[in-house]
Structure 1
């Protein structure tokens, strides 16, 4: 069969018929092929009717004119009945073809309506499912936010966007696809939520361990500072000094600060409990450092650490005031500075023989007499424990020994009170 020409398609192009019944509009689509088939059927019926009528008419005209007779009349009557029956049969066939065509058109219209209705219902169902999934995801995110869960494992918004509407898919396939997507999204949401909760629990445990570690560290530091400060405070009080007044003096002389944080003021009301505790530890460390400075600057150390004998104490002796103590050891035994200071005298002085005087902070002065040798010079700065000379027998002396004096603002003090007070420190 030859394909239809373009001209025929122009006359029999696809047509759409809209029929409005009972307030509803029904759409009927007639393709080019259906129109051509109906046209051919109609032409065939018309041609058959025309041909049959022509044959009857021809027989009537071309028959010889003979007298009518009962036999001829019977023949004509029978032929007429045959032709009438044939015409009736043709008419019935035409009506049957027409009814079949109408039934086909009605069935086609019903199928189209059913397909359109099913497609629309499926699209509405799929759209409602997508909206339900989005609402479910919003509730999951809200629940995760209330529990301070991490948002790293949340489902991307694109995963729950409204799915596209496929044009060629059956209703069962569409519903199955929507249900599959719903189940997959729900599983991913539950997995991400479980992972976020697990991460949160691990983080809380880690924070708890860190807090316990810092609590133990703070407690150890506080205990160590308490243990370190108590003996130093005991030394100062045992020597008769006012520790508070002495530490204030140290703070005034050693209070320099600097650096990027210099000048910042700390308001205790703005600090948390942990920050206030840490600040207290820093203050205790600063106090300990002030104690260390005071101990190093005050003459608490013994002038002789080698083996020696205590031969004379502080106080009246032979009718006179003995303003120091005597320590005996072999000649040349090292004599040590008992605190940091500056040498103010190094030479021979009256009954002291070879004498070294050292000026210390806070108004203190120490004297070392009867030396055999002097190892420092006037104006030299010395440190606690530094050798300044050797034990000797110069000046008014009955044997090799050290005469050691301690003075505060010119007044002689008993050196043993300081040496004994710091016995467990040095």
Structure 2
């Protein structure tokens, strides 16, 4: 067989592929790799890979590109899913096949289906939740379609002031949280112990779990553990959807507040922690508002106590006035009755006065100044005094 020129072979391949795939587009599922993105130029080169489901052996690999006319599909995908266009993502893509005698075989990506990626993420997340419920029913369980955890059922302190903060050092999330906390309009003071570590990317869940272990080993009576993370892609957010962190959060014995910087999806950590808010700033605002509610309840009790005390004093004063008036009336009647009694007794005493008795014709028999009341006491020949109304007469008894 006579050899042919390379260009003839290339042109033949181009013709065959053009006949088979020219003017056609097909949907393919593949994993991204080796991405070279040029946003300023409006195009992107990458490799699409298919690997064994049971392992990581490569089954197929093809070069691909996104040209300027379809470059918007990257932004559309990221906005729809919250996932950054990066390597090692499995995508469903509409592609056309082209062959160049100089550049070889290449797939042009025309469109990326975001629903496929979102479905994959949701399936993976649901599998983790199902595994946690199955493996740790004492920590995570379902009630009326809602996930309930041991951490959620912990009593929330009336004031949350002593905090353990898990965040990346110097990150926007760390900065936003500290700023909002220290600049709160009520002047509340918080004691914050920092447990800084990686909170996104590969291995972040292990780093966070290690810090939770440190917090538990510290034996400090923290009111809450706060986990914050600034903005980022959905892939960076993946550490909060892992089995190991979900288990650690669900069973932790201090209430965990999560403010991990996402506006779109709810992570497994959000579902299983004691309280979840959208951002680090809102996490700080939540703590301030929680303490504000306690202060307002104290102020309300103070006002109620003031009102009750004022009403009690007024009621007591009225009762005292009434009792005073009643006492005055009773005393008036008492003294009036006693005065009547004394008057009557005075009249009686006046009637019984010996002088008055003598005026009525009676006489007193005295011996040596002592009144005699019985005749048997008088002896014959004694000298006696007889006191009459107008004088005394001396006599000798017979």
The two structures have a TM-score, normalised by structure 1, of 0.27
* Higher strand proportion (structure 1 or 2): 2
Question: Highest relative contact order (Cα 8 Å, sep 6+), 1 or 2?
Answer: 2
Bigger radius of gyration, 1 or 2?
Answer: 1
